[in-house]
Structure 1
Amino acid sequence: MTRVKTDLLVIGAGSGGLSVAAGAVQMGADVTLLEGHKMGGDCLNFGCVPSKALIASAKAAHAQASSDVFGVASVTPTVDYAAAKDHVADVIATIAPVDSVERFEGLGVRVVREYGHFISDREVQAGEHVITARRIVIATGSSPLVPPIPGLDTVPYETNETLFELRRKPGHLLIVGGGPIGMEMAQAHRRLGSDVTVIEGMKALGNDDPETAEIVLNNLRSEGVTIAEDAMAAEIRGTAGAIEVEAKDGRVFMGSHLLMAVGRKANTERLNLEKAGIESTRRGIKVDDKLKTTNSRVYAIGDVAGGLQFTHVAGYHAGVIIRSALFGLPARQRVDHIPWATYTEPELAQVGLTEAQARDTHGSALEVVRFGYEHNDRAIAERKTDGLIKVMVAKGRPVGVSIAGAQAGEQINLWAMVLANRLKMKQVAAMVSPYPTIGEISKRAAGAYFSPRLFDSPVVKRVVGLVQRWLP
């Protein structure tokens, strides 16, 4: 048995754990990193990176099939599904060195390729190593949630951890779950030539603003994706190539392949949390606003902390941890400024409160500003006019933004900065945006907020009239 003493022990080499390890070691801490599976975690190997790579292949196919509107003859694309997966693998391989053992050992991190579990409140065992640490960060992420639907255990199915290894294109892909993963993979596979049916127990994209979500869903339907809502899966049966999903209301959906995309569960099973006095809930490890667990020496970040499950949240948590664990500064997490995006076409993005949430919070003080893509010249030129931005404003300050449309994931960056720094609409209105860009939509939304105050105000008109009479 090898005993190791370290300043900081990081359990899990996903995006959050790697960010903590890299930042801490470069600031002078002795850092030990544990990873029993793949370096880079879910994001690199099974999530953000491969899904966006496959979406890129699907966009290329769709562009060939829908180019006639630009004066270029549309053609039926020849899709090599296995080659598209080769593209996915190449993208992962290109990024992987940044997350590799070699890079982190080069930075000075002690990397142990084993799973870890607590044997006391300050000790973790990983293989033949027993590690004692001043501070411990749990960054073990999450895994696909596979609910106990009758029959599922006898039917072959995919999750995001297996889908990208599939080499033969599904003839008809059934997707149980209409969240971001389900809808992204639905559109991608439809564009690559598969029939696709999404089976959602409640409302598709139900965590987003309904008005902007419907813009996305309508486009997916127009491309041929079948979306069955209020269809709670009650039984699954069949064999490879012939699978049936029966909903509680009796509807039956038939396909060749099945993807389970109903959510995520925190990876806590291996950790032996009770031994360290760490409490957990159904959602994940219980943490306070400093990301500390019920063991004051142990933090939890990212998906395993039971909050928003996004790669960029894990990275944000890493910054909070470094300020707190390394410098002893009073660092706390916020969630009101955290954006997210769904990378369908059109894209869907959100930061802060949705309209419904903002009305509940701010009541009559709320103003909702809308600006449609059909009024943006760049969107018109690129035939991408199906879209909308909604800005929820209370007392001159944005409290939430919903965007559906081209580059929504890029546009939400501006509004995430606005909410993070608690800026007002006047700061957005003061921005000069280059013409013609999709980004002008945010500027125009700010203009739409001020227009009634300027152009419909009798006081403004009287003042202008007086000034004009007195000017030489």
Structure 2
Amino acid sequence: MSTIETDICVIGAGSGGLSVAAGAVQMGAKVVLLEGHLMGGDCLNFGCVPSKALLAAGHKAHETSEAEFGVAGHDPAPDYAAAKDHVQAVIEEIAPVDSQERFEGLGVHVIREFGRFISETEVQAGEHVIKARRFVIATGSRPFVPPIPGLDTVPHHTNETIFDLRERPEHLIIIGGGPIGMEMAQAHRRLGSRVTVLEGAKAMGKDDPEAAALVLEHLRAEGIEIVEGATASNISGSDGAIIVETEDGPSFTGTHLLVAVGRAVNVDKLDLEKAGVDYDRKGVTVDAGLRSTNKRVYAVGDVAGGFQFTHVAGYHAGVIIRPMLFGLPAKARTDHIPWATYTSPELAQVGMTEAEAREAHGDKLFVARAEFEHNDRAIATGQKAGFVKVMVVKGKPVGATIVGPQAGELIQLWSMAIANKLKMSAVANMVAPYPTLGEINKRAASAYFTPKLFDSPLVKRVVGIVQGFGRP
């Protein structure tokens, strides 16, 4: 058993852990990075990257099949295995950025073993004991597999295995109507599978209801069967003939099953009790600065118990670097964190939804809105479905919802505005190139000022007086 002394020990080489390790070592700290599975974590290997690559393949097939703009559509005859080759090629192209070799080149001591605490100041990884001044838990999360009777005896997939599947499912049943379930539903439908989504409550239930309804309408129009209020009660059958029974409802039979009902944080193998670190099923208990009950130990990303997004893990890394390396105070915020579901149309959100804002601010809330059908670029490209609505309080945005083309790109402006506490005038004063989808954000900002300018008797009176002085 060897002992290694270091400044910072990072447990987990996903987005958050890699960001901490890269930032700290390049600013002069000694860093040990532990990873017992794949460098790059869930996002690179099983999550964001492969799902968006598969969605891109499905989009290409769908685009080819549509007849529009004077161009005839045709049967795209998608090759499912070739689409998976594309997925793997994308992972392989990005992987070097997250590789052991790159981080060792930066000066990080990488140990490819799982880490577990053996004291408040020590972690064991294989044959190594690491003593560090600070520890960062960045172990992420894994697919949650619910205790549905029969599930453990029936072949099924999660996001960790679905991308290894080479033969196109004839009929894919998906349990779970959240972002993962809906993205995989559309990707597989566009690649030629029949798809049924079973959701125990409301599909896309965490999103703005109006925006979610538009997405669901489009998914159903593509032939995806979405059954809400359908809680799976029993699963039986075998590979190629899987039966999902629902509570007080019908049974559904498909060839393949994907379970996409949420995530479980990876804390169970860390022996956190030995480190004096409190935790629960949501993750490590942290304060506003992401520090645990053991002041030497921080947690970032999914395991910190908040939003489970890759970009949040990267944001958390920036937050904890300040106190760990410079002794400066820093707190994590959530009000400016955006997220997106990459279906077509896309749905993106930052800050409060309309319902949340109404509950919090009541009559002080103004909802500024703009429709894609009035955006010239959307008209030209035939992508008119969707809208932007911005929740405004005292002249400042507190939330924004976008459903429509490139919503994940367009939401970034509102994230910046909220992060920097900008007023709506900052967006209204922006000059957007014409014609772009980005003009819709400026139109939404302008909608906030419209009643103040065009419906105001005072404004009209002032204009009349000024014009009167100018008469010949």
CA shift, 1:471, in A, is 2.5
Cross-structure match for 1:307 = 306
* Counterpart code for 1:133: A
Cross-structure match for 1:96 = 95
Cross-structure match for 2:46 = 46
SS in 1 for 2:196: strand
SS in 1 for 2:283: coil
Deviations 1:77-126 (A, max 9, x none): 11110010000000000000000000000000000000000000010000
Q: Structure 1: how far apart are the matches of 2:212 and 2:417?
A: 23
1:160 to 2:166 alignment = no
Q: Structure 1: how far apart are the matches of 2:380 and 2:249?
A: 46
Cross-structure match for 1:10 = 10
1:118 to 2:117 alignment = yes
Q: Structure 2: how far apart are the matches of 1:381 and 1:333?
A: 41
* Counterpart code for 2:215: V
Q: Structure 1: how far apart are the matches of 2:74 and 2:137?
A: 50
Deviations 1:398-417 (A, max 9, x none): 11100100010000000000
CA shift, 1:158, in A, is 0.3
Q: Give matches, 1:49-88, under 5 Å.
A: 49-66=49-66, 68-88=67-87
Cross-structure match for 2:188 = 189
Deviations 1:345-375 (A, max 9, x none): 0000000000110011001111111211100
SS in 2 for 1:468: helix
Q: Structure 1: how far apart are the matches of 2:323 and 2:343?
A: 37
Cross-structure match for 2:135 = 136
* Counterpart code for 2:168: K
Deviations 1:10-32 (A, max 9, x none): 00000000000000000000000
CA shift, 1:186, in A, is 0.2
Cross-structure match for 2:421 = 422
SS in 1 for 2:78: coil
Cross-structure match for 1:199 = 198
Give the percent of matched residue pairs that are identical in Structure 1 and Structure 2.
68
CA shift, 1:232, in A, is 1.0
Deviations 1:124-180 (A, max 9, x none): 000000000000000000000000000101110000000000000000000000000
Q: Give matches, 1:238-253, under 5 Å.
A: 238-253=237-252
CA shift, 1:250, in A, is 2.2
Cross-structure match for 2:347 = 348
CA shift, 1:249, in A, is 1.8
Cross-structure match for 2:259 = 260
* Counterpart code for 2:47: G
Q: Structure 2: how far apart are the matches of 1:440 and 1:214?
A: 24
Cross-structure match for 2:21 = 21
* Counterpart code for 2:184: M
Q: Structure 1: how far apart are the matches of 2:432 and 2:375?
A: 12
Q: Give matches, 1:177-326, under 5 Å.
A: 177-326=176-325
Deviations 1:400-456 (A, max 9, x none): 100100010000000000000111111110000111001100000011111111111
CA shift, 1:69, in A, is 1.6
TM-score by length of 1: 0.99
SS in 1 for 2:280: coil
Q: Structure 2: how far apart are the matches of 1:402 and 1:232?
A: 28
Q: Structure 2: how far apart are the matches of 1:178 and 1:438?
A: 28
Q: Structure 2: how far apart are the matches of 1:423 and 1:213?
A: 27
CA RMSD of aligned residues (A): 0.6
Q: Structure 2: how far apart are the matches of 1:233 and 1:292?
A: 38
CA shift, 1:469, in A, is 1.1
Q: Structure 2: how far apart are the matches of 1:253 and 1:381?
A: 41
Deviations 1:226-249 (A, max 9, x none): 100111111111110111111112
Q: Structure 2: how far apart are the matches of 1:326 and 1:251?
A: 58
Q: Give matches, 1:140-151, under 5 Å.
A: 140-151=139-150
Q: Structure 1: how far apart are the matches of 2:38 and 2:432?
A: 42
TM-score by length of 2: 0.99
CA shift, 1:269, in A, is 1.4
Q: Structure 2: how far apart are the matches of 1:97 and 1:434?
A: 36
Q: Structure 2: how far apart are the matches of 1:306 and 1:125?
A: 24
Alignment coverage as a number of residue pairs: 471
* Counterpart code for 2:296: R
Q: Structure 2: how far apart are the matches of 1:330 and 1:249?
A: 54
Q: Structure 2: how far apart are the matches of 1:251 and 1:200?
A: 13
Cross-structure match for 1:339 = 338
Q: Structure 1: how far apart are the matches of 2:394 and 2:111?
A: 52
SS in 1 for 2:264: strand
Moved beyond 3 Å, runs of 4+: none
Q: Structure 2: how far apart are the matches of 1:471 and 1:116?
A: 79
Q: Structure 1: how far apart are the matches of 2:282 and 2:434?
A: 45
